[in-house]
Amino acid sequence: MIWSALFAFASLATAAPQFGGGGGGSGGSTGHGTSLVRFGCSQVVIERLDPLVNPGVLPSPHVHQVVGGNAFNASMASTDVSGIASCTTCNFPDDLSNYWTANLYFQARNGSYKRVPQIHNRMEDGYEGGTTVYYVSPGSGKVTAFKPGFRMLVGDTTLRTKPTGVNMKTQSCFRCYTGPNFKGDDLSPCADPKLDTETLPAGPCLGGIRSNIHFPTCWDGKNLDSPNHKDHVAYPTSGPSSFATTGTCPSSHPVKIPQVMLEIVWDTTGFNDKSEWPADGSQPFVLSNGDKTGYAQHADYVFGWKGDALQKLMDGGCFGAATCNGVKTQTAATANKCAVKDTVAEDTNGWLTELPGHGME
């Protein structure tokens, strides 16, 4: 996502009063209602753990790439993690949350797997791999920040076909960069009719592949979690919105929460040799849960902002990754010093004969 597209978003905000008015602004504040906070989070660990879906299971079924605070472990409880973590790989030191997704692997023609390296996103120089995190609010007082202990999951690791009645592409998509330096990154996430697909791209992407995942934006106002980690949140009645906290929340989930969106850049450029691609012409990439379609892309979120820092960003008309409304930032170099010890200690990165955990869901 480039700033011109962000400005396009801001213009959309001007055109659509339900965003609370909009407009540009290049500093820490839009000077208007809309907050659009975008920042880098380096890798904190890559391993087979999932404290949300498989608490205490060590190792969990498939590999995840994890960013954020150092409280991440196999059994982290639904509690105020901002009081447990002591550092974060994210731009905002007060964001001790964790965010994680499946990894991407390449399967060569001989059947072996290699983990696709992650690179920092556009305008996130200095961050190591990891994830770009967005929080969006349509205006001051328009969203309620998450509460300590809040967690949620988006996506379904068992999905292998297009779900009916769901606009999958606005929830989860892949962008096929057309060349180096994020070429083709012109339209809002998941909004490019050609370069964004809900399935893994069919052909080689000359600048790599970017994942985008949009979390739901409505909350039941009561539960910090639910048995499937999904039922306490919902998309607006109009369905997932592409990169904007728009739409009306259903009466079951009346509280509007910040829109959390994740972007992950996979450097697939080392795997574009068609002679290594499957002989049947299919694409060679597979998520760490064994999914070759892309439909099983999913993301987990454990809220861990300190105090009212997130609410301040959402109410401040904040823009970009700048210090805004008194919320501090840290350098990428400082963020990169934060790490979690890999407790599973298995090879996730060499040429592997099987996906770690056999690519289990």
Ligand X SMILES: *[C@@H]1O[C@H](CO)[C@@H](O)[C@H](O)[C@H]1NC(C)=O
Q: What residues make contact with ligand X under the rule CB under 6 A? A: 73-76, 84, 108, 110, 112, 276, 351
- Residue at token pair 């009306």: 248
H-run or E-run covering 3: helix 3-15
Nearer to ligand X, 72 or 243 (CB): 72
Least separation in angstroms between residue 348's CB and ligand X is: 16
Least separation in angstroms between residue 312's CB and ligand X is: 27
Q: What is the CA radius of gyration of the chain?
A: 19
Least separation in angstroms between residue 340's CB and ligand X is: 10
Structure tokens at 313: 């960003």
Least separation in angstroms between residue 137's CB and ligand X is: 31
Least separation in angstroms between residue 285's CB and ligand X is: 14
SS3 5: helix
Nearer to ligand X, 98 or 288 (CB): 98
Nearer to ligand X, 10 or 302 (CB): 302
**Residue type for position 260:** V
Q: For 4, phi and psi rounded to 5 degrees?
A: -60, -35
Structure tokens at 240: 């997932």
Nearer to ligand X, 151 or 214 (CB): 151
H-run or E-run covering 8: helix 3-15
Quick one: how many helices (H) and strands (E) in the chain? 4, 19
65 and 129 Cβ atoms separated by less than 8 Å = yes
Nearer to ligand X, 160 or 354 (CB): 354
Least separation in angstroms between residue 236's CB and ligand X is: 35
How many alpha carbons lie under 13 Å from residue 115 in its C-beta half-sphere?
21
Nearer to ligand X, 80 or 276 (CB): 276
